[in-house]
Amino acid sequence: MHIAFYAPLKPPDHPVPSGDRRVARLLTKALRRGGHRVTLASHLRSRDAAGNPERQRRLADLGEQLAARLVRRYRRDPASRPDLWFTYHLYYKAPDWIGPRVTDELGIPYVVAEASAADKRLQGPWAIGEQATRAALRRADAVIGLSSADRERVVPLLADPARWRALPPFLDRAPFEAAIAQRAETRAGLARSLSLESRQPWLIAVAMMRDDVKQHSYRLLGQALARLRDRRFALLVAGDGPSRRTVEAALAPLRQEVRFLGALDEHAVAEALAACDLYVWPALNEAYGMALLEAQAAGLPVVAGASGGVGDIVENGITGQLVLPADEASFADAVAALLDDEPRRLRYGIAAREKVAAAHDLDAAARQLGEIMNTLAPVPVP
């Protein structure tokens, strides 16, 4: 099957790394592993971060023009015509101005993966984007839910509740398994290059440094860990961005050693995670947290805030500890408990790795996506 793939927030070939780009790449990889031909339909980024209605109208007009151009091309060249349109990550700041028009014109299925809706956005500066998102959801033949937190608001907007199809977040475990095999060597190298004591516990957080909820999570992380003045540990931070100085200031009160690794590629992230002992992230307003899944794939226990769909990823008391969102004291207590209990850390880490293998693997996702795609646009039998 030929699938036209579109990510209005950030295309999978965008040069700046992020969790959103990571998931877009994983979805295309899973679809291809299922035997489908996937082409990137458009690079249009429809994101309006500031809430500018005039910008949203301009993007809507541009989307209409691009949709008309694509329809003409597909009709002119039948070999390029997709059998199905697949849009990843739909919400009020980044609606899909292209897919619904193309699918209506061509009469092909329209699929959305990861979508959210917010009643409060029907009024105010993002009303245009929220209305467009809801129109796209009504048009969708299937909405693939990667986070259970979105289900309650999205399902009532669908033409048929059965069009909601849950899919656990997933990843390719191969880089993480390779990193685990090289853990001792990587840890020794990092200890030398970062001047760290390898016998003390290493905590790690992986997140972009942006002036949004990521910055808020960094601030809470600093406040929580600053309570642990009597504990010996090191904190490694992977990520970069425009708010780096603010993040550095938020972590400055820690008496423990803090090392900033900067932005890392996917393999380097896997290696850094596998070399550490505990993943720590408050996860304020996270959809589910791709980095939390990656940490567990690397065999790390997790301490995180129980917001959004984080509970879909981290099994409380089994693969890590979940605390109330934005609860600085509870977060600090959970980290302290695991710092003091190495056997429990190791037990959680083993369970985390097993959970990812059993429920969040790329091959399983490829099979589930294939079933959904073939139900909507069956592959003809030769």
Q: What is the mean pLDDT of the chain?
A: 95
If you ran DSSP here, which 8-state letter would residue 94 be given? B
Residues 109 and 187 in one domain: no
Which pair of tokens denotes residue 301? 């226990």
Q: Which amino acid is at 149?
A: A
Mapped onto helix, strand or coil, the DSSP state of residue 353 is helix
Residue 67: pLDDT band (50, 70, 90) is: very high
Which pair of tokens denotes residue 54? 């005039």
Would residue 260 count as lying in a domain? yes
Q: From the CB of residue 263, how many other CB atoms can be counted at a distance below 10 Å?
A: 15
Task: List the CATH number of the domain containing 111.
Answer: 3.40.50.2000
Of 115, 149, 289, the closest CA to residue 214 belongs to 289
Residues 193 and 339 in one domain: yes
pLDDT digits (tens, 9 = 90+) for 101-116: 999 999 999 999 999 9
Would residue 319 count as lying in a domain? yes
| Cβ neighbours of residue 95 closer than 8 Å, sequence gap 6 or more | 8, 46, 129, 130, 132, 133, 136
Residues 162 and 224 in one domain: no
Residues 229 and 331 in one domain: yes
What angle separates helix 183-194 from helix 266-275, to the nearest 10 degrees?
A: 90
Residue 36: pLDDT band (50, 70, 90) is: very high
Average pLDDT (125-153) is 96
- The 3-class SS string of 298-315 reads CCCCEEEECCCCHHHHCC
Residues 160 and 301 in one domain: no
Please state, in angstroms and rounded to a whole number, the distance separating the CA atoms of residues 185 and 191.
Answer: 10
With beta carbons less than 8 A apart as the criterion, state whether 4 and 112 touch: no
Is a pLDDT exceeding 90 seen at residue 186?
yes
Cα distances from 295 to residues 76, 100, 153, in angstroms, run 47, 36, 29
Please state, in angstroms and rounded to a whole number, the distance separating the CA atoms of residues 67 and 73.
Answer: 10
Residues 289 and 337 in one domain: yes
Would residue 104 count as lying in a domain? yes
Is a pLDDT exceeding 80 seen at residue 208?
yes
Of 96, 112, 114, 100, the closest CA to residue 20 belongs to 114
If you ran DSSP here, which 8-state letter would residue 64 be given? H
Task: List the domain range (segments joined by +) for residue 116.
Answer: 2-170+361-376
With beta carbons less than 8 A apart as the criterion, state whether 44 and 62 touch: yes
Residues 157 and 194 in one domain: no
Of 179, 277, 289, 297, the closest CA to residue 233 belongs to 277
Residues 259 and 236 in one domain: yes
Average pLDDT (263-275) is 96
Would residue 125 count as lying in a domain? yes
Residues 164 and 43 in one domain: yes
Residues 238 and 351 in one domain: yes
Question: What pLDDT is recorded for position 322?
Answer: 97
Residue 359: pLDDT band (50, 70, 90) is: very high
Would residue 382 count as lying in a domain? no
Rounded to two decimals, the pTM is: 0.90
Residues 339 and 298 in one domain: yes
Question: How many domains does the chain divide into?
Answer: 2
Say what percent of the chain tops pLDDT 70: 99
Would residue 381 count as lying in a domain? no
Mapped onto helix, strand or coil, the DSSP state of residue 4 is strand
Would residue 138 count as lying in a domain? yes
Residues 31 and 141 in one domain: yes
Beta bridge partners of 37: 2
Residue 378: pLDDT band (50, 70, 90) is: low
Average pLDDT (126-138) is 98
Residue 379: pLDDT band (50, 70, 90) is: low
Is a pLDDT exceeding 90 seen at residue 286?
no
Would residue 79 count as lying in a domain? yes
